[in-house]
Amino acid sequence: MIKAGIIGSTGYAGAELAGLLLGHPEARVVWYGSRSYVGEAYSSIYRNMFRMVDAACLDDNMEELASQADVIFTATPQGLCASLVSDRILGQTKIVDLSADFRIKDVKIYEKWYGLQHKSPQYIAEAVYGLCEVNREDIKKARLVANPGCYTTCSILTLYPLVKEGLVDVSSIIIDAKSGTSGAGRGAKVPNLFCEVNESIKAYGVASHRHTPEIEEQLGYACGEQVVLNFTPHLVPMNRGILATAYASLKGDVSYDQVRAAYEKYYGGEYFIRLLPEEVYPETRWVEGSNFVDINFKIDKRTGRIIAMGALDNLVKGAAGQAVQNMNLMFGLPEDTGLKRVPVFP
C-alpha cells in the first residue's frame, strides 16, 4: 500500500486528489496538510468527506511528512515546494509537485513569468515533466515529477501530434482556451464571486498568462525548434472544465487521413485520450469528473489552416488525476489504477 501525503489538501486540486486517493485500491492518505486549517477536521472543510475521512489537517512540515509517506503531493501556490524540497527529503520519498516550480527548465524564464526567485534550481534538471502520454518512461524512473498545468495539458495534448509530425507551421499557432472558475483556486477573490462571473465571459492574462512559456517549451521539444505562440485564456461561468481551440497553418496540402493517422500514431493506444469520430467535437460536459481528454480537429481547406480542439476536467486530468496517473507510473502500477471514473452527466 502506497502511503501518500498531501500538502495543500484543502484547495480544489488538493481536495480532488484526496477524493481520488480515497478510492485508490493501492494507496492511502496519511497526511492531509493545510497551513490554513491546522487541527481542524478535514470533513468539516469538505462536508462531502463526512464519515469518509476522520483525520484532522496537519501543517506543511515536509521533513516530517517525508519520514511517513512514500509519495508527497504538493498542491500549493508557486514557490512553496521549491522552498521545502531537499536532498534529505528526496532521499526518503517521491514528490509530485502540482505547482509550476519545476515545470520550466530555464530558471530565468520561470522567474520572469512568475515573479519569484527560484529557491532550489538545482533540482530543475532532474525533475521530469509529468505529461504521462509523452514522458511515460522517464516518469517511471523519477523521484521528482512536475505535474503539468491544466491549460498546458489540454493545449499540448491537442497539438502534440501535429507539431511532432511537422504538419503545421509552429510560428502560426494560436490557442484560444476557456476554463471554469475552479481553475482560479479556492481563495476568496472579488473577480471570482458569483455575481462577477455569472452570465459573463472574459479573457484574462492576455499575452501574459503564465502557462504560455510552459506550452511553448514542451511543443518546442516536440518539433525540435523554438516555438512562440499566442495563448489567450478565458473564464466562463461553470465550475470545472477546459476547452482549448488551437489554430495553425498546415504545411502544404495535408489531408484528413494524414492528420488522423498522426493522432492515431500517438494516441491510438492511450486509454485517457479519446479521439472523437469525424465531425464530432469535444465538449467539457462529456469529460467532467474524469481523467479523459477528448480531442478532434477540422481542416479548413479554404484558409489552409487546421482547427484542433481538446476538452478535459481541469481538476482531474488537468491536476489531481494526472498527479495520480504519475504516481501510478512511479510505483509500477497500471496507469489507470484508481482513475476509471465515468464522466459525470448531467
Active site residue ranges:
150
- Residue that has been written with the C-alpha cell 487521413 in this structure: 257
**Distance separating alpha carbons of residues 297 and 247, to the nearest angstrom:** 10
Helices 12-22 and 321-330 pack at an angle, to 10 degrees, of 50
SS (H, E, C) 88-156: HHHCCCEEEECCCCCCCCCHHHHHHHHCCCCCCHHHCCCCEECCHHHHHHHHHCCCEEECCCHHHHHHH
Helices (H), 115-255: 132-140, 150-164, 194-197, 212-223
The three-state secondary structure class of 341 is coil
**Distance separating alpha carbons of residues 240 and 322, to the nearest angstrom:** 15
**Distance separating alpha carbons of residues 229 and 311, to the nearest angstrom:** 20
The total number of residues written for the chain in this structure? 346
**Distance separating alpha carbons of residues 42 and 311, to the nearest angstrom:** 31
Measured CA distances, 198 to 191, 233, 240, 312, 346 (Å): 11, 17, 14, 21, 19
Q: Show the cell assigned to 169.
A: 507551421
Q: Residue 4's beta-bridge partner residues? A: 29, 71
